Structure 1
Amino acid sequence: MKNETTIFGIRAIIEAIKSNETIDKVFMQKGLQGELFKELEQAIRSAGINSSYVPIEKLNRLTRGNHQGAVAQISPIEFHDIDDLVMSVIESGKTPLFLLLDQLSDVRNFGAIVRTAECTGVNGIIIQKKGGAPINGDTIKTSAGAIFKMPICKVDHIKDAVFHMQSSGIRVIAATEKAEHYLYDVSFKEPCAIIMGSEDRGINPSVLKVVDDQAKLPILGEIESLNVSVACGAFLYEAVRQRS
C-alpha cells in the first residue's frame, strides 16, 4: 500500500524498488524472519537504499496500515545525476559552489542547510546514499520549500563526490575544527565545494585525507562546537562575501 510519503507492506516495497520508485529509506522490524523478508533485504542492498532495523512500535507510529514489518519513506524529490549537474554548472559560466554533506543525520539540520544553501546561491548539494537524513515532511518544512529548488545528488560514498569535484577543477574545502587556520584565511573565490560533517562525528577521517584544504570557525565561548547548520551558514556567507 502507498500514501503520499510512505509505502508499507513487504511485497509492496519490493515491487516499488523493482519499479525504480525514489525511496529514501526503509524501516524494517527487528528480528523479523522469512523468505519474503530476506528478498526485501536483498532488494534493498542491490538498490543501495538507506535502511535500518527498528522496534515494531516505530513502524506502528509511521503508519496505521498493516505494515507487515516494513515501511518505506518515499522521497518527495527526484535526485540529480552528479555528472550532469557539475557539467551544467560549469557550462553555464557560473563559478561553481557546491555543498557536500557527510552523513548528516538530523532532518531539521538538513532542511535548514538546504534553505541557507538556496539563499546563498549554492549550485547543488551532494549527499551519501546511506547513513544520512531522509528527505521527509520535516525536511520540507524546515527548508521552507527550498528542497524543491535545490538540486540534490546522491553518491555511494562522499569520497566519490570529492574525487568528482577535484577532477572537474573544483577545490574541496572541509569545515572541521581540526583545521589549522580559520575560514577567513581560505579563498572561496574560485570554483569550490564545502564539506560539512555529521552532528556527532564530524567529517570522516578518510575523507579529510583527500580534501584540498581545511578551515575552521573561531570559537570564543566554552562550548567547543556550533550546530552544523549554523556553521554551514557561516561558511556559505563567507563564500558570498568573498565573491561579492
Structure 2
Amino acid sequence: MAKRTEQIFGIHAVNQMLESSPDRIINAWIQEAINSDSVRAIHDEMNKLGLAVQTTPRTTMSRMTKNANHQGVIIEVKPAKKKTDNDLDVILEANKDNNPLYLILDSVQDPHNLGACIRTADAAAVTAIIIPKDRSASVNETVRKVASGAVENVTVISVVNLVRAIKKIKESGVWVVGADGVAEESIYDMNLTVPTAIIMGGEGKGMRESVMKECDFVAALPILGRIESLNVSVATGVILYEVLRQRSIK
C-alpha cells in the first residue's frame, strides 16, 4: 500500500520543497531554541505561506527521524506521483531531439548512494534517472536528505523490467554505455556528445549480466592505485562530468 504522507528533513531538502511544491506540505516542525539563521529563514517562509509550524524539542524530533540528522527542521508532505514505465515512454519522446543524458542505476541498494547519485545527476542536468522497481533502494527520507533537495528537481523513473526499459531507450536513438571495472576501453575514449544513457552497477556485484548485454559499449574508469574500484556514487559523478566536459567542447 502506498504511503499517504512522506517525511522530509534537513535544511536543503526542506528549502527545495518550499521552493518547488509548498502545496504538498501538511505539517512542519522546527526545533525549539535552535540558533540557526537557515532554520529561522525557513520558519519565516512557512509563516508567509500560512503553514502551521510546531516548535518541538530536539529529542522529540530525533525520535521522529530515527536519530537522523534533521538539522532542526522536519516537514510532512503529500507524496508526489511516482514515475513508472508509462512515464518513460513520454520522457523519451519529449527529449528525443534534445541530446538527452540518462542515468540508469542497476541494483543500487544503499539509500546513501542513491541519494548521492541523484544529487550529482541534478548538478549534471541529467534528463532522467531510471531504476528497477524491485532491485533498488526506494526514494525514502534518507535518500531525500542525502540528495539535498535534488529529488524535487530530477525525474526518477521506477520500472518493472530494467532490460525492457533499456531496449526502449535504445530504440529512441540513445547510445547505452555501461560502466564496468574490467572493461578494456576507457570511459575517456567514449564519444559521449551524442544522446547517451550511462549504466552504473550496484554495490559489490556491479551490472547484472542481462543488463550488460544490452550495452552498446562497456567502458571502465582508470584505476591507477591499489584499490580495485570506486564507490558507485563517486564513479557516477566522475562519468557524468566527463559527459559534461565533452559536450562543453566547441
Q: Under a length normalisation based on structure 1, what TM-score does the superposition of the two structures give? A: 0.68
**Aligned partner (choices 65, 77, 84) of residue 80 of structure 2:** 77
Match of 1:133, SS? Answer: coil
**Aligned partner (choices 229, 235, 242) of residue 231 of structure 1:** 235
Q: Does 1:166 align with 2:167?
A: no
Q: Does 1:178 align with 2:182?
A: yes
Residue aligning to 1:86? 92
C-alpha distance in 1 between matches for 2:179 and 2:78: 28
Does the 8 A contact of 1:125 with 1:150 survive in 2?
Answer: yes
CA change 1:198–1:102 in 2 (3 A) is same
Q: Does 1:128 align with 2:146?
A: no
- Unpaired runs of at least 5, structure 2: 8-63, 67-76
Over the residues paired in the alignment, what is the CA RMSD in angstroms? 2.3
C-alpha distance in 1 between matches for 2:136 and 2:105: 8
Letter in 2 for 1:84: V
1:4-49 CA distances to partner (integer Å, 9 max, x unpaired)?
339xxxxxxxxxxxxxxxxxxxxxxxxxxxxxxxxxxxxxxxxxxx
Counting only pairs closer than 5 Å after superposition, residues 130-145 of structure 1 correspond to structure 2 as: 130-145=134-149
C-alpha distance in 2 between matches for 1:78 and 1:125: 15
Does the 8 A contact of 2:4 with 2:79 survive in 1?
Answer: no
CA change 1:223–1:96 in 2 (3 A) is same
Does the 8 A contact of 2:4 with 2:78 survive in 1?
Answer: no
C-alpha distance in 2 between matches for 1:170 and 1:79: 24
C-alpha distance in 1 between matches for 2:243 and 2:111: 24
Does the 8 A contact of 1:113 with 1:233 survive in 2?
Answer: yes
Does the 8 A contact of 2:5 with 2:78 survive in 1?
Answer: no
Does the 8 A contact of 1:173 with 1:193 survive in 2?
Answer: yes
- Unpaired runs of at least 5, structure 1: 7-60, 64-73
Letter in 1 for 2:240: L
Letter in 1 for 2:165: A
C-alpha distance in 2 between matches for 1:136 and 1:211: 29
1:78 deviates by: 2.4
Q: Under a length normalisation based on structure 2, what TM-score does the superposition of the two structures give? A: 0.67
C-alpha distance in 2 between matches for 1:75 and 1:175: 36
Does the 8 A contact of 1:77 with 1:148 survive in 2?
Answer: no
Does the 8 A contact of 1:75 with 1:135 survive in 2?
Answer: no
1:76 deviates by: 4.0
Count of residues in Structure 1 that have an aligned counterpart in Structure 2: 178
